[in-house]
Amino acid sequence: MCAVRVRVAAAAAKGEESVRENESPDRVSRAIDACAAGRLEGLEHLYEAYRSPVFRTCLRLLGDAPSAEDAAQEVFLRVFERIGTFDRRAAFSTWLYRLTVNHCLNLLERAQRRATLPMEDVPEPHDPAREPESACLRAEGETLLLRALERLPTDHRTMLVLREIEELSYREIADILEVPVGTVMSRLCRAREALRRIWIGDPPGLLSRKAEDSAGATGSRQERT
């Protein structure tokens, strides 16, 4: 019951954001113009319209709220700084997501040089026999899943955040990441399987077995070389 309410609330939240953007393209356009003219009220409008998806993307890519807050603010500062480079050929949201993802990936790259995940943070393997039967178990499962998401390589995590959480289309993701749609398709597939392996702790599935075979072959080639 609780989970149903959560889903409804999530759907409502997304709907609200979409409506805001779709119902007032002129307002968004005017806000972009104002922003380009250096007027803060333009940035304020864009911030109010898009702060939730930007913050959510930062949070799911970076993994902690304080860093996500800083990053989200930094993204909007960059919007104000670089709005002149937005050529309006793509949707503003695409451009904004690109700024957001790139900023977060830069932060992660820097952080990766400094820290590694301690062993105690590795989630316990999920017991398939314990399917979520109550809200409590479901919440536990979701927590483990989010922790597993944080353990994914950044390219996999990015794909899953943009598709599963932000619910963007393959075309939008391709535009944001500036890669072909086919690449989105294959990366997303690998990301799903990688997440499943960490979350469920299952033996390697088809894809991972294939990847391991491929890695083994590569390793052999390297040894031979």
How far, in Å, are 27, 59, 176, 199 from residue 20 at the CA level? 10, 22, 21, 35
Residue from 10, 19, 136, 137 that binds another protein (CB under 8 A)?
A: 10
Based on the shown chain and the rule CB under 8 A, indicate whether residue 170 belongs to the binding site for another protein.
yes
Q: Give the footprint of another protein on residues 99-118 (CB under 8 A).
A: none
Judged by CB under 8 A, the stretch of 20-28, 57-65, 93-101, 112-120 that binds another protein is 57-65
Residue from 91, 105, 135, 165 that binds another protein (CB under 8 A)?
A: 165
Alpha-carbon dihedral of residues 73, 75, 80, 85, nearest 10 degrees?
180
| Tokens read off for 85 | 């480079």
Residue from 19, 111, 189, 215 that binds another protein (CB under 8 A)?
A: 189
Contacts of the segment 154-159: beta carbons below 8 A, 24+ positions apart: 154/61, 154/105, 154/108, 154/109, 155/187, 155/191, 156/187, 156/190, 156/191, 156/194, 156/195, 157/60, 157/61, 157/191, 158/61, 158/101, 158/105, 159/184, 159/187, 159/188, 159/191
Say how many residues touch another protein, by CB under 8 A.
Answer: 61
Based on the shown chain and the rule CB under 8 A, indicate whether residue 81 belongs to the binding site for another protein.
yes
Q: Give the footprint of another protein on residues 129-148 (CB under 8 A).
A: 138, 141-143, 145-146
CB 91 to another protein: min, Å: 18
Report d(CA 131, CA 223) in Å as an integer. 44
Based on the shown chain and the rule CB under 8 A, indicate whether residue 149 belongs to the binding site for another protein.
yes
Report d(CA 166, CA 56) in Å as an integer. 8
Based on the shown chain and the rule CB under 8 A, indicate whether residue 196 belongs to the binding site for another protein.
yes
| Tokens read off for 119 | 């062993």
List contacts with another protein (CB under 8 A).
3, 6-7, 10, 13-14, 38-40, 43-44, 47-48, 51-52, 54-56, 59-60, 65-66, 69-70, 72-73, 76-78, 80-81, 138, 141-143, 145-146, 149, 160-161, 163-165, 167, 169-170, 185-186, 188-189, 192-193, 195-196, 199-200, 202, 205-207, 210
